[in-house]
Amino acid sequence: HKKELAMELSMIGIDYHTASVEEREPFAFTDSGAVRFMKSVKETDPDASCIVLSTCNRTELWFYNLTPDPLDYLFTQLPHIKNSGRELFVRRSGTEAVSYLMEMTSGLHSQILGEDQIVSQVREALNRARECCKPDPVLDTLFRMAVTAAKKVKTETRIGSRDTSVPERAVSILEDRYGSFKGKQCLVIGNGEMGRLLAAWLIHKGACVSMTLRQYRKQDVMIPAGCGVVPYRDRYKTMGTMDFVFSATKSPHYTVHAQQAAEALEENCSYVFADLAVPRDLDPDLTELPGCCLLDMDDLGLQVSADAGELKKAEEIICEQSDEFMNWYYFRDYIPLVREVSSAAGELTNAKLKKTYRELRKKHRDVSGLQKEVMRASESAVERILFGLKDVLPRQEWKHILEALELSADEVDIF
Identify the DSSP state of 93.
E
Active-site choice (50, 56, 186, 208): 56
Amino acid letter for position 162: R
Cα 263 from chain centroid (whole Å): 40
- The counts of H helices and E strands in the chain are 18, 10
Calpha distance 88→414 (Å, rounded): 64
Q: Does the active-site annotation cover 56?
A: yes
Calpha distance 348→64 (Å, rounded): 40
Cα 297 from chain centroid (whole Å): 19
Helix (H) or strand (E) holding 283: none
Calpha distance 355→371 (Å, rounded): 12
Task: Give the CA angle between residues 4, 60, 92 to the nearest 5°.
Answer: 35
Calculate helix-pair angle for 94-105, 117-132, nearest 10 degrees: 120
CA quadruple 125, 130, 133, 137: dihedral, nearest 10: 100
- Residue 227: which residues within 8 A CB-CB, separation 6 or more? 188, 199, 200, 203, 209, 210, 211
Calpha distance 374→325 (Å, rounded): 32
Calpha distance 253→259 (Å, rounded): 15
Q: Which positions are catalytic?
A: 56
